[in-house]
Chains A and B, each alone.
Chain A
Amino acid sequence: MTTKMSSMETDVLVVGGGSAGIAAATSAARNGAKVVLVEAGPMLGGELNSGIPVDGVYTARGDLAVGGFATDFFDACARYDGFIGKVCDYRALNVVCVDPEASKLAAIELVYGAGVQVLMYTFADQVVASADGVVEGVIVRNKRGRTLIRARVVIDATGDADIAAGAGCETMVGEGGDPTLQPVSLVFRMAGVDAARLLAFVAEAPENVSVLEYPGFAPDRAAAIAGLVAQGRPKVFLVAGGPLLDTAIAEGRMYPTSMVAITPISEGRREVSVNTTRVAGVDATDTSQLSRAIDDLSRQVQTCSRFLQTSVPGFEDAVLSALAPRVGIRETRRIVGDTVLTGADILAGRKFDDGIAKGCHELDIHGRETGHRRANIKDGGSYDIPYGCLLPKATKNLLVAGRCLSADREAHSTARVMGSCMGMGQAAGTAAAMARELNAFEDIRQVDVGALRARLREQGAVLDGIA
């Protein structure tokens, strides 16, 4: 049976509707381009809908490092009663807490509202590229059949660099020949949490909680704990090494994990998200492995929710209230771009002349079981993500944004967070739209980085002026 393939044309094609993709599509459309966004799943927002906080928006010092689209997104969450705002974990981060249910509404409002044509339930299957590095289009598959989407610029926001890999670009996995990846996790939520009791427990048994990995939050541990309690939010990082978790793991009441990270997501529902479950050794681009992971992960969810109810004050009357829409993926392929951001760059808080977004999350590499490498950015500040990290080598009109940026494994572990993904997405979308204005669609590198930076600043992005 031969089936016919339909086709459509657009200025900019964005593949992947996670934090990077929604920022890219919205920014490109707002800057005048005709945009199609293709997303394999039934919702926009990607990991934004899992319940984890948005990291990388504020530096540890407290400065705003990502504005623009991210600010619009938070404002939209607030319109849907789903914005808690900046919360300090007194460990290493200032995070932004939103309700993942409101974030779904916010993403839809912003993307559709900008005039983007969205194709949900649509999988990018094949890339059509010429020998000289021009991506002419992408063939997508959905229930209607196959469609060739011809685009002047393509933005790969798939998290897995599917388009770059499909176009034959060089990609990296793991480091130094070791393909080990960070674990996959299933985030879950619990409602009816008594935040005051939880914080009282933190004050009584602070040895269970990690604080002050970044020394700037307080003069000493006691002061940090006092600050965390005074803040009044259930933002608590129960850490492996503390007696509570260690004993539970030893007794088999908990699976081995580096943390049970609790984050407020809704005051009205007294609800938190819990980031803790983990299965290591999964290559999430191998779909059979990824499919199987939900088996162990769903058991861990049941184990941990029982552990919280029975062993953590404040959770006595709490109930499991939701699972994330899908298994969360931290790490797969990264592209090799014009510039490769390095661990040394991020730890030193390095600034670049061609910075188009900022990162400020800690180095954060989850390992197997209790393994977890964390390190601070210099002075609790920020680093720049250069434009070259979004440009796959040997391509002309392809950009990436989000988790698949060009970085070594250490730099990736910080720049992968959602605040940074939105910053990169805004930059990629804006660059694509500027290529249209210049009539330079064939070569995205003709966009002057100075002009791009100026446009991004006009549109609220934070590119300089902070540590």
Chain B
Amino acid sequence: MPRPYSTRHHDVVVIGGGAAGIAAASAAARNGADTLLIDAGPVMGGELLSGIPIDGCLNTRGEWIVGGFLRDLIDECDAMGGFVGAFFDWRTIWVVCCDPEMMKLAVVNQMRKAGVKWLLYSFVDEVVTDGNRVVGVVVLNKSGRTLITANTFIDCSGDGDVAVGAGAEFLHGDGAGAFQPVTMVFRMAGVDTGRLLKFAGEEPENLALGENPWIKESREECVRALVAQGYPKIFLRAEGPLLSKSIAAGELYPTALIGVTPVSTQRREVALNTTRVANVDATDTAALSATMPALIDQVWNCQAFMKKRVPGFEDAVFAGLAPRIGIRETRRIVGREMLRGDDVLAGVKRADGIAKGGHHVDIHGGGTDQVRQPIADGGSYDIPLGCLLPKDIENLAIAGRCFSADRRAHGSARVMGTCMAMGQAVGTAAALANDRNAPDGILADIPIAQLRTRLLEQGAILDGTH
């Protein structure tokens, strides 16, 4: 006889502890809801722990477009010496760079301060529904199975596992088997930034620069500004002579980029975003697991390439792998509304926006392929609550990578700054729905004006920017 299920109840249950989930849980708990955060892995933070920078916090113009939880998290990292800074890449975006190891601690600190309860190593196995409501989720872990009931559920699993389990309609990659590649991010320490930037200044044809028409500076001016910024935030591009020759010679695997990002000034350490295996459905666990040898071959190939060919890396050393294979794209849940690529590119504002995005449309393909389209005027676009509410399920919200969007809009809003803004919005909405004035907790019934007011009070940025 298998063990009986145990049970527990919370006001709000958040599934998935990545950028979206931690923001959602924190917002729900700070707004008074008894909140449980569940993650399948051993730590909280998801892709925030991989070393990549947080994109989508500022628009191309350098205006902050995400505040609230993101700010608190940056401050927490900063207090521990784990905030490197916010930088312009002089290509198209501003990035916020933190030390992913301090981030692990910062996330725990933030969850503790918000009063969030958490359950790790726990996989959501089944979703229990009643009509158009989710009644509970069954999680599986070493203690067996637990039926966890709640008034409101927030699916931040990246893959929309709960929404799909509840019967929500979803879109999958491009619908014809193409998915953005999976990537193993890695780190190198002991990088000589001065030399690297000198090289950037001397051979700027290797860099991606000035891709956003809002940037009026010439390539020369861009590279000068990048060098003057003084941090190893550079983007080696496939079309540049260094990469194109090395790829042609078989010295480097085909890739669109080697994105270099500072993660620690003291350790002189950077993260490298470059490895790739395209068109893997990451919800197919056997296929995802099978990418590992190719990814680590690329990691070892690339670190050797950096040492040999890229000035500043001569004495650098391999310093670590991300905790897991990074996943860019799987399922998108179909919501009450769908964010459209055209609206994203046009930077459309809405009176009912509850989060902002500002990252370019950024769709990686196989090999050297990558679509990069800037947002108009270096600005931002608004995301309405309807994109975070699956159609026909009244007490379930979605946030993060699995929200409702077409493929191009997803290519922009999937970044971590935007994920946190979405997370804060739905976490706050869940807490409001849980308040006595909305006993049924129907998320779509929350007055948007009330939600926006609460978000603004708590530091979110919803208007006043390009």
Contacts and interface: CB of A to CB of B under 8 A. Distances in A.
Given A143-B283, A326-B43, A80 B300 contact: yes
B102 interface: yes
B285 interface: yes
Given A41-B42, A43-B323, A143 B161 contact: yes
B120 A120 contact: no
Contact of A291 (B2, B119, B159, B296): B119
Interface string A115-128: 00111111101100
Interface string B92-129: 00000000011011001100100000111111011000
A180 interface: no
A325 interface: yes
Given A141-B125, A269-B267, A118 B289 contact: yes
Interface string A261-295: 00000101100000000000000111110111011
B104 A108 contact: no
B318 A102 contact: yes
Interface stretch (A237-245, A315-323, A391-399): A315-323
A443 interface: no
A162 B324 contact: no
Interface residues of B, number: 54
B40 A121 contact: yes
A21 B300 CA distance: 24
A109 B288 CA distance: 16
Contacts, number: 145
B143 A143 contact: no
B317 A266 contact: yes
Contacts of A109: 293, 296
B288 A120 contact: yes
A104 interface: yes
Contact of A298 (B108, B119, B140, B290): B108
A313 interface: no
Given A162-B142, A290-B121, A144 B267 contact: no
A154 B296 CA distance: 28
Task: Classify the secondary structure of B's interface with A.
Answer: mixed
Nearest to A290: B121
Given A269-B317, A287-B120, A325 B292 contact: no
B183 interface: no
A287 B190 contact: no
Given A120-B285, A302-B105, A326-B43, A43 B299 contact: no
B213 interface: no
Contacts of B228: none
Contact of A294 (B43, B80, B140, B266): B43
Interface string A100-116: 01101100110011000
Nearest to B289: A120
Contact of B105 (A42, A292, A298): A298
Given A269-B190, A287-B143, A327-B42, A143 B120 contact: no
19 contacts: A41-B42, A102-B318, A105-B296, A118-B289, A120-B289, A122-B289, A142-B123, A144-B284, A144-B285, A287-B119, A287-B121, A287-B141, A288-B143, A290-B120, A291-B121, A319-B81, A323-B43, A323-B101, A326-B42
Interface of A: 1, 40-43, 80-82, 101-102, 104-105, 108-109, 112-113, 117-123, 125-126, 141-144, 160, 162, 191-192, 266, 268-269, 284-288, 290-292, 294-295, 298, 301-302, 317, 319-323, 325-327
Interface of B: 2, 40-43, 80-81, 101-102, 104-105, 108-109, 112, 118-123, 125-126, 140-143, 159, 161, 165, 189-190, 264, 266-267, 283-286, 288-290, 292-293, 296, 299-300, 317-321, 323-325
